[in-house]
Structure 1
């Protein structure tokens, strides 16, 4: 769906005063969600912990029935959601939307501003990084479900063999030296086969601000090649690629990748705080061997960025009773202590300050598998203490494009050659990606600054 400047302006700047589009609700008559009228909500989400909230919510709200449907993970769900919104039917009442994708749905006018329901009072409840991701254009367009502050997950057995202490690796120069020592053992310090989300997170970590959307939603700034912090990451990562210090062949989330984590040939990951349970299931032989440290940064400063994390958004509807009921569920799942608690117990990494500061959370040393067995996967380390600190250090200045889903989808088309066959440099790939993003923005009706 292409938007010209006039349409974008209407959706982005005037969405608050336009009638709500009849796309996200059903055909139920409007009414009071707190009354006796029976309301059925459909939620699209791939998150395995969200269904755990339904029983408690329905007990507190017997007139609201919630059905959670997995419409596909991230971009698959987004495509289905876009199709439904454009068709004017078939959209859910709520949808899980990752932070990077949310601005696009705000600009398109697809999601409800939740400020009028009381969400604008929650800024101190959520961590700065997650709150900044949902508080867009003077509104609150979703509630944070979880968060993904970056952390360094590492196999201590391999690091000890290499003579590397990750707690002493504070700068990217330190990381480079550590990568050489790990490679000498036969392992790679980490892997990257061309991941756009990782690129965003690492440039964010460096303090880059390559993207920005104008307040009226009609203009974008795209400045990858002119941002010196973006260049700092490119130079750093190219050096590791050139010297064969990172695994560029193994794609993430494949069986081969899990095997590499399991046998130690991929010795660490720079990734989001949601990773512990994925390691437990994907690399079971690493049980007891892994630890977590803070991210090494460009200059060794205590800053951080997000990698992943999702929000729960209410899809626009002209049915006010349905909208109120949908907000009630979002508030229960993301803000209510019972809703948040049951999700954290299921493995979600919290987005709220209260949970991150709780003694029970901070003192955790074990993970529980699907059969109820406890595993001290991180060797008895109070791993949430490390991750909570990582969350507190997230900077809030980074912005995503209002078409970030498309941007990430085409990243490998331009930069992928820097990893796969080394046919181009990463700098050349990013320059090509920048050109493509500017062309796409103009095709969609944006003014490119």
Structure 2
């Protein structure tokens, strides 16, 4: 049966309702990006002459009533055409052709930037939330607020909607996200004497040390994801960090604020003491096998991990449970995210009106969302209502120990900060974090120093883009 996911009333610190863009709501340097965009577009090899700054571009009119158009959508989901065909059957005048490209950091974003230079950009593209500011620095996206996107804002989860709100405009329609969840082997937790999932990080650390000690290091509560910047960002977000803020036309970068230092200093001793598994890299075959055997008993990951866990261990329902993240004592409850993407319209695309119509349908039509769940394996959908009514929300789930795990995820989303902002050079920032933490784990050195090194390199990257930037410390 379907289960209501949210109780009436405010959700999170800012409540719900239409989420209209406005600099006072977010800390991103909206004005700074806009002011520097003209100069930074030179990195696209002359693309500025083609697309120009957002506010100076003429509005593209909608198609004529008797005109037929075909939209091209670049995505890393091979099965998205099956979803688009639902739309195509009902919209003979606006057809959608899904084209599979590599994942963003595996070549997809380079392909998009190259298309802007060549002038053969698609009508729509799938872009991760963290990458949107990088496209804005290069004048790479259309402001969808100019094409009716804001009319639909109230239908989306606020924290997801705000991920695409920058420079007083709106540059994407959220498709899916990944609230961080605590997946764990309940049978192993009983065997280890832990019982239920830890409710605080202190309890987690105690349990990690206990499992490693009691098993002589042959079993661990979890494998440490060495160098995974997405995982680290989600946990710092949960602790209350804000890596990027802006004021007076200037970026401020702060990877060593109190919250981030707390996270780094928490994980460092667990890693150096070998209380966590370092033998099996997350995503490796050995790691998947360890999850099956139960020698690794936890995976802290975005909600999209449910399908991976189920696929890795399909014949053993009832061994896994899910919970929200452990919390920091003395702090309000917060959760974090890992992943999430939006439908964007690249600058100069020929049919932005029609693109927004399809993008909104893709994210809010129940048939479309259910098809993306079953065909594409998407994470948490962008609209509260479609999550409540989705094929994923069927009440007690035998695989997850008869939990209504969809309801557990929904509860966690109420506590995801809406003020988190991604910086304008995140692809490189993620590389800096990965390099610094891999070195710190290998050398037994400070995780806080690793954060500081990543911060220094990120500041240099932003400065090289021609943006005003400073360190918070």
TM-score using structure 2 length: 0.82
Task: Say which SS state the counterpart of residue 67 (structure 1) adopts.
Answer: strand
Map 1:253-264; keep pairs closer than 5 Å. 253-264=283-294
Distance 1:359 1:340, change over 3 A: closer
Q: 1:81 — aligned with what?
A: 112
Which of 413, 429, 436 does residue 435 from structure 2 map onto?
413
Q: 1:373 — aligned with what?
A: none
1:438 and 2:459 correspond: yes
Question: Residues 353-386 of structure 1, C-alpha deviation per residue, up to 9 Å, x if partnerless?
Answer: 11234497543444xxxxxxxxx32122211111
Q: 1:95 — aligned with what?
A: 125
Task: Say which SS state the counterpart of residue 90 (structure 1) adopts.
Answer: coil
1:72 and 2:102 correspond: yes
Question: Residues 11-39 of structure 1, C-alpha deviation per residue, up to 9 Å, x if partnerless?
Answer: 79x93322269xxxxxxxx7743633232
Aligned residues between the structures: 421
Distance 1:283 1:220, change over 3 A: farther
Q: 1:200 — aligned with what?
A: 233
Task: Say which SS state the counterpart of residue 406 (structure 1) adopts.
Answer: helix
Q: 2:186 — aligned with what?
A: 156
1:397 and 2:428 correspond: no
Q: 1:19 — aligned with what?
A: 57
Q: 1:118 — aligned with what?
A: 148
Q: 2:364 — aligned with what?
A: 335
1:378 and 2:400 correspond: yes
Distance 1:109 1:199, change over 3 A: same
TM-score using structure 1 length: 0.86
Q: 2:255 — aligned with what?
A: 224
* Preserved CA contact (<8 Å) 2:33 2:136: no
Distance 1:91 1:390, change over 3 A: same
Tell me how far apart the structure 2 counterparts of residues 42 and 164 of structure 1 sit (CA, whole Å).
51
Question: Residues 154-186 of structure 1, C-alpha deviation per residue, up to 9 Å, x if partnerless?
Answer: 01111111111334x221111101212332343
Tell me how far apart the structure 1 counterparts of residues 34 and 136 of structure 2 sit (CA, whole Å).
15
Tell me how far apart the structure 2 counterparts of residues 304 and 49 of structure 1 sit (CA, whole Å).
30
Distance 1:213 1:70, change over 3 A: farther
Question: Residues 183-217 of structure 1, C-alpha deviation per residue, up to 9 Å, x if partnerless?
Answer: 2343222221210111111100000112125575x
1:36 and 2:36 correspond: no
Q: 1:211 — aligned with what?
A: 244
* Preserved CA contact (<8 Å) 1:159 1:182: no
Task: Say which SS state the counterpart of residue 62 (structure 1) adopts.
Answer: coil
Map 1:313-352; keep pairs closer than 5 Å. 313-317=344-348, 319=350, 322-346=351-375, 347-348=377-378, 349-352=380-383
Which of 158, 170, 175 does residue 145 from structure 1 map onto?
175
- Mark the runs of 5 or more structure 1 residues left unpaired by the alignment: 22-29, 367-375
Tell me how far apart the structure 1 counterparts of residues 176 and 34 of structure 2 sit (CA, whole Å).
34
Distance 1:255 1:215, change over 3 A: farther
Tell me how far apart the structure 2 counterparts of residues 267 and 261 of structure 1 sit (CA, whole Å).
6
Question: Residues 380-412 of structure 1, C-alpha deviation per residue, up to 9 Å, x if partnerless?
Answer: 221111111112221112111111112112322
Tell me how far apart the structure 2 counterparts of residues 336 and 11 of structure 1 sit (CA, whole Å).
37
Instruction: State which drifts further: 253-262 or 393-402.
Output: 253-262
Q: 2:24 — aligned with what?
A: none
Tell me how far apart the structure 2 counterparts of residues 195 and 7 of structure 1 sit (CA, whole Å).
30
* Preserved CA contact (<8 Å) 2:303 2:409: yes
Which of 181, 185, 190 does residue 222 from structure 2 map onto?
190
Cα RMSD after superposing both structures: 2.6
Tell me how far apart the structure 2 counterparts of residues 355 and 426 of structure 1 sit (CA, whole Å).
40
* Preserved CA contact (<8 Å) 1:262 1:286: no
Q: 1:370 — aligned with what?
A: none
CA displacement at 1:292 relative to structure 2: 0.1
1:312 and 2:343 correspond: yes
Tell me how far apart the structure 1 counterparts of residues 221 and 68 of structure 2 sit (CA, whole Å).
55
Tell me how far apart the structure 2 counterparts of residues 221 and 5 of structure 1 sit (CA, whole Å).
16
Tell me how far apart the structure 2 counterparts of residues 271 and 154 of structure 1 sit (CA, whole Å).
11
